[in-house]
Amino acid sequence: MADPSKSFQPYIPASQSPAEFTAKAIVLGVLFGLLFGASTVYLGLRAGLTVSASIPIAVLAISVLKRLGGSTILENNIVQTIGSAGESVAGGVVFTIPALIFLLPDGPKYFSYTQITMLAFAGGILGVLMMVPLRRALIVKEHGVLPYPEGTACAEVLVAGERGGQLATLVFSGLGIGALWKSLSWTFNLFRQEIGHSLARTSQFPNATLSVDISPEYMGVGYVIGPRIAGTMFAGGVLSWLVLLPLVSIFGAAITNHVPPATATDATGQLLLISQMSPIQIWSGYIRYIGAGAVLAAGLITLSRTLPTIVASAREGFRSMGGGAEGSVARTDRDLPMMTVVVGSLLLAVFLAVMPGLPTQGNILAALLTILFGFFFATVSSRITGLIGSSSNPISGMTIATLIITCIIFVALGWTGDAYGPIALSVGAIVCIAAANAGNTSQDLKTGYLVGATPKYQQMGLAIGVVTSAFIIGMTVLYMHQVFGIGSAAVPAPQATLMATLIKGLLSQNLPWGLVLVGVFVAVTLELCGIHSLSFAVGAYLPIATTAPIFAGGVVRWWVERKTGEKSDSDLSAGTLFSSGLIAGGSLAGILYAILVGADWLRPFQVVGEMIPALRGEEASGQVAGGLLFLVLAVVLARFAQRKV
């Protein structure tokens, strides 16, 4: 069988060397990395989800560089390569590192800017290094086998650079509308942030809850992931909030004793009965563990489904490491030297073992586990990204697997005290960040392979993106915690909360396994029905106020595709570009709101909302106004999504 890589010709052949790794491309890429890194922190802390930023960054790069005197396609590619590193590193950070807050009574002392930044740096660089020996195996040798859907769409954007103005208009429009919408509801307090209702405890359907966070970023996420995944996520929310929550309330009404593991108390410190709890207290005390069990099982099932891929990719990775110095020296085939990979990995291990302030300081085993799991799951992540794209990459499943194995090793060694929780989490956090960035790196290298980029320059650019974005990511995470308190309703950090729950339960060996196993078998039941359970499990773990607007975005995409008759899996469409802008705009406005709150400058802005109290009140008028305005946002998204690109 002919090797497809032998006959492939990139858009810019190896014989040509246009401008690529230039100062303006690097600076612009760093700026976009900071921008999308910060917005991803907000989205991840709010919703526990992230989406790839490569395509909107590529569109914006074309538009901005044209106004700066023009650019080559390879310069545009460097911009999106550097910028996308910020989004992937931020996703790995917010999924894991905030769990430090919940692990110990004095957990916040571990949650410092220096530690967040160092862990982000270590994980991000590890992800880049691990992909160097895998590039030929996954990108070159399997060209035509691994589609890399988002990377290919990004290459289409770059090749169609002359259309950059029109594409950029969609992204900028979404960004402006998303930021305006979020500012009107949050900063100016003009209308409600959430609509919905919970039935009374005394009703026939007690505590059943349906609510919608009317945020533009959630609707944008729903449109990007599509109706099938969005609907499956919402179904998980329906199970938790409209099935399990009323069921626990019905049976709990007759129980006169406190039922563990819930810890909700009244004003006197007395543990509450189920019949005395609010819907959110019942969800937090019982339903959340069922959701955690479902995520745990679904993540492991998703991972096990790719076992043949994992073994094959790991084998190819080791083969490539052995022959990394061989091969063509053509411009389009130049990687960073293998010595850089080996020395860099060893230095990272030493860094983790000796760096003061890190939980892994002095623990050589933890440092070695980080490098070992980092390479393994970087391989897995890169391969899965090649099949389904980085936005759908089950990073949380890989992190859960890492934490389980690490905690089992620790328990076997007798390391079961509270002090070992942060160490286990640090291993999982670095592996999570490395896997997220390795998947993103492979996607960027695929884009570069198609357009004819120089791999070495992309790898250097990714390292620059990791280092620079780590500083703003640490700053944003810490600031959000200082202003809102991570774990609060404003920034619940659902993924990090899950990681903390698993670590504490595994190390102390007192996880409420009854509830967890209920969730495990919910996921197993779905798999037996032929349904991939990960999206459902994530939805079961998240508040329904998050999954409902995501479902609304998916419904808008279903309606647009039905009306236009154009159903495409490509990420290059008017709707996805506009939705990417909504996500970024809403997230950035949320960060601006946090800045105003932290600086105590919010009061003058909120006077505007007080002039029209009916739009934001608890009464029916506020609910109806919020619902109608959210419908308007859906109509605006649908109108933009029907444009031609």
Q: Summarize the confidence of residues 301-325 as an average pLDDT.
A: 58
Token pair recorded at residue 32:
């976009």
Residue 242 has pLDDT above 90, yes or no: yes
- Reported as a pLDDT band with limits 50, 70 and 90, residue 23 is very high
Residue whose C-alpha is closest to residue 122's, from 334, 354, 336: 354
272 DSSP 8-state letter: P
Residue 163's pLDDT is 55
> What are the residues whose beta carbons fall under 8 Å from the beta carbon of 252, sequence distance 6 or more?
259, 273, 274, 275, 277, 282
More confident residue, 322 or 228: 228
Burial readout 375-403 (b: 16 or more C-beta within 10 A, e: otherwise):
bbbbbbbbbbbbeebbbbbbbbbbbbbbb
Which has the closest alpha carbon to 51: 103, 109, 22, 91? 91
> What average pLDDT score do residues 402-411 get?
87
pLDDT at 105: 65
The pLDDT value given to residue 475: 93
- CA-nearest of 134, 162, 160 to 146 is 134
Structure confidence at residue 544 as a pLDDT band (50, 70, 90): very high
Q: How much is the pLDDT for 621?
A: 82
Q: What per-residue confidence (pLDDT) applies to 571?
A: 56
pLDDT tier at 326, thresholds 50, 70, 90: very low
Listed residue (582, 520, 533) closest to 556, CA to CA: 582
Across the range 418-423, mean pLDDT stands at: 86
Q: Residue 291 in contact with residue 237, Cβ under 8 Å?
A: no
Residues 75-124: pLDDT tens digits? 999 999 999 999 899 988 998 989 888 886 665 566 788 889 999 999 99
The residue behind tokens 């007192």 is 510
Q: Which two tokens stand for residue 159?
A: 């090749």
Q: How confident is the model at residue 295 (pLDDT cuts 50, 70, 90)?
A: confident
Residue 503: per-residue pLDDT: 87
Partner residues linked to 196 by β-bridges: 211
Quick one: pLDDT band at residue 1, thresholds 50, 70, 90? Answer: very low
Mean predicted confidence (pLDDT) in 539-561: 92
Of residues 47 and 581, more confidently modeled: 581
Least reliable range by pLDDT among 131-145, 193-207, 351-365, 493-507: 131-145
Winning range, highest mean pLDDT, from 90-94, 223-227, 415-419, 538-542 = 90-94
Q: Which pLDDT score is estimated for 587?
A: 85
pLDDT at 305: 72
User: Mind listing the pLDDT tens digit for each residue in 559-597?
Assistant: 999 998 877 655 568 888 898 888 888 888 888 888 888
How confident is the model over 465-489, as a mean pLDDT? 91
Tally of residues, the chain? 645
Structure confidence at residue 170 (pLDDT): 86
Number of Cβ atoms within 10 Å of the Cβ of 141: 16
189 pLDDT above the threshold of 60: yes
ω into residue 56 within 30 of 0, thus cis? Answer: no
Q: What is the C-alpha to C-alpha distance for residues 25 and 265, in angstroms, rounded to an integer?
A: 55
pLDDT mean over 289-301: 83
pTM: 0.81
Residue 343 has pLDDT above 80, yes or no: yes
Per-residue confidence (pLDDT) for residue 325, from 0 to 100: 43
pLDDT band at 327 (very low <50, low <70, confident <90, very high): very low
Q: Under a CB-based contact definition with an 8 Å cutoff, are residues 540 and 292 in contact?
A: no
- Angle between helix axes 620-641 and 544-564 (nearest 10 degrees) is 40
Q: Where in the chain are the domains?
A: 18-173+292-501
pLDDT for res 319: 56
Question: Average per-residue pLDDT in the chain?
Answer: 85
What is the predicted pLDDT for the residue at 430?
A: 92
The single residue listed with the structure tokens 């995501």 is 550
CA distance 517 to 21: 52
